[in-house]
C-alpha cells in the first residue's frame, strides 16, 4: 500500500487519494468514478454502523481505500472499502477460511458492498523491506505452503475455468505478436498449460502474494493481506516471488527454492508458472501494451529449466 501524494479532501470524512481515483477511472471507467464519488458517504456510513473512529491518514492500493480506525472497545483495526468485483468478492471467503492463520484476520464484513473490517497490521514493516531477497522468497514460500494447505471453500473461482478460457484466447493473441521469438515463447506457455489443465487442483490460493502483500504483526512475524483467491494448484502461486525485485540470474534459484519449500512436483509447478506468464501476456496483448521483457525472460529461463 502507498500513501497519497496529493489527496482530494472530502471535508469531515476522509481524504480520497488522487492516485486511487486515477486508477479506478483507468481500470473501471464509469463504475470506478461512481465508486470514488460514493466513497465519502460509504466510509461515513460504516464508521457509524460499526462504531469506529478514524485513527490516521488513509492508505490505498490500486483498487481499495484502507482507513485506520479504532473500535468501540479501543482495539485498532482498518476499514477496507473497495469496488465489488469477481476478485474482491472472494476475499472475505478466503479470510474466513484461514481465520487469521497465516493471513490478516477478518473482523466484520458487509456482503452487498464488499466492505471489510480487518485487524490492523504494521503497514510500516513490509516483507519488501527485508534486504535479503532469498530470505524474503523463503518467507513467501513458507506462507504459501501454509495458506495452500487449506482446501478451497465451495463456490470459489476455479483455476481450471480460468486456464481453459486463457487457452481459448491464445490463438487470437498470438496473431497480434509481431516478434517471432516472443510469439513462440507465448505459444510454449500455452502448450505447458494444455498439459496440466485437466488437473487444476483444489487448494485455496492467494493468487497475489508478493512481498508488499505481506506485513508484520505483533501476533505473528508475517501475515498475508489482499488475497484474490482461487481454487487451484499451488504452482500457480509462484510467479510474484520470482518477479519481485527482479533479478534474471535469480529466477531459477527462486523457483527451485519455492518448489522445495512447498514440496511441489517441479514439472507441474513450472507448467502452472508458465500459465501465469501466459495470463499476464494475454492481458498485455488485449490491452494493446507491448509484452514485458522481464516477463519474457522469466518464461524463457523456466522453459529451459529441466532440473
226 is catalytic: no
Q: Which residues contact 194 (CB under 8 A, 6 or more apart)?
A: 167
SS3 assignment, position 202: coil
In the chain, which ranges are continuous DSSP H helix? Answer: 18-49, 91-98, 133-147, 159-174, 180-196, 239-243, 251-261, 266-286, 293-303
Catalytic residue among 208, 211, 226, 233: 208
Give the separation between CA 56 and CA 42, rounded to whole angstroms. 18
Bridge partner residues of 126 (DSSP): 215
End-to-end CA distance of the chain: 37
The set of cell numbers assigned to 192 is 505447458
What b/e string do you get for 74-89 counting C-beta neighbours within 10 Å, with b at 16 or more?
eeebbbbbbbbeebbe
Catalytically active residues, by annotation: 208
Amino acid at each position: 500500500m502507498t500513501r497519497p501524494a496529493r489527496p482530494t479532501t472530502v471535508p469531515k470524512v476522509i481524504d480520497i487519494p488522487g492516485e486511487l481515483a486515477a486508477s479506478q477511472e483507468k481500470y473501471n471507467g464509469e463504475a470506478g468514478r461512481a465508486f470514488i464519488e460514493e466513497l465519502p458517504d460509504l466510509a461515513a456510513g460504516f464508521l457509524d454502523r460499526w462504531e469506529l473512529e478514524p485513527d490516521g491518514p488513509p492508505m490505498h492500493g490500486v483498487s481499495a481505500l484502507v482507513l485506520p480506525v479504532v473500535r468501540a472497545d479501543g482495539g485498532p483495526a482498518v476499514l477496507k472499502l473497495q469496488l465489488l468485483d469477481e476478485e474482491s468478492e472472494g476475499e472475505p471467503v478466503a479470510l474466513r477460511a484461514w481465520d487469521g492463520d497465516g493471513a490478516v484476520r477478518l473482523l466484520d464484513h458487509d456482503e452487498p458492498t464488499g466492505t471489510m473490517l480487518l485487524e490492523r497490521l504494521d503497514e510500516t514493516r513490509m516483507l519488501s523491506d527485508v534486504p535479503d531477497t532469498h530470505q524474503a522468497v523463503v518467507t513467501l514460500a513458507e506462507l504459501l505452503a501454509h495458506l495452500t494447505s487449506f482446501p478451497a471453500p465451495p463456490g470459489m473461482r476455479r483455476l481450471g475455468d480460468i486456464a481453459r478460457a486463457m487457452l481459448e484466447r491464445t490463438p487470437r493473441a498470438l496473431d497480434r505478436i509481431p516478434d517471432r521469438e516472443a510469439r513462440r515463447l507465448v505459444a510454449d506457455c500455452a502448450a505447458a498449460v494444455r498439459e496440466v489443465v485437466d488437473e487444476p487442483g483444489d487448494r485455496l490460493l492467494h493468487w497475489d502474494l508478493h512481498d508488499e502483500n505481506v506485513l508484520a504483526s505483533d501476533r505473528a512475524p508475517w501475515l498475508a493481506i489482499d488475497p484474490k483467491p482461487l481454487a487451484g494448484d499451488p504452482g500457480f502461486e509462484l510467479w510474484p516471488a520470482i518477479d519481485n525485485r527482479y533479478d534474471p540470474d535469480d529466477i531459477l534459484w527462486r523457483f527451485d527454492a519455492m518448489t522445495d519449500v512447498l514440496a511441489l512436483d517441479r514439472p507441474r509447478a513450472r507448467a502452472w508458472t508458465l500459465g501465469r506468464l501466459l495470463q499476464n501476456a494475454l492481458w498485455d496483448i488485449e490491452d494493446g501494451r507491448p509484452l514485458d521483457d522481464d516477463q519474457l525472460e522469466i518464461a524463457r529461463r523456466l522453459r529451459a529449466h529441466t532440473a
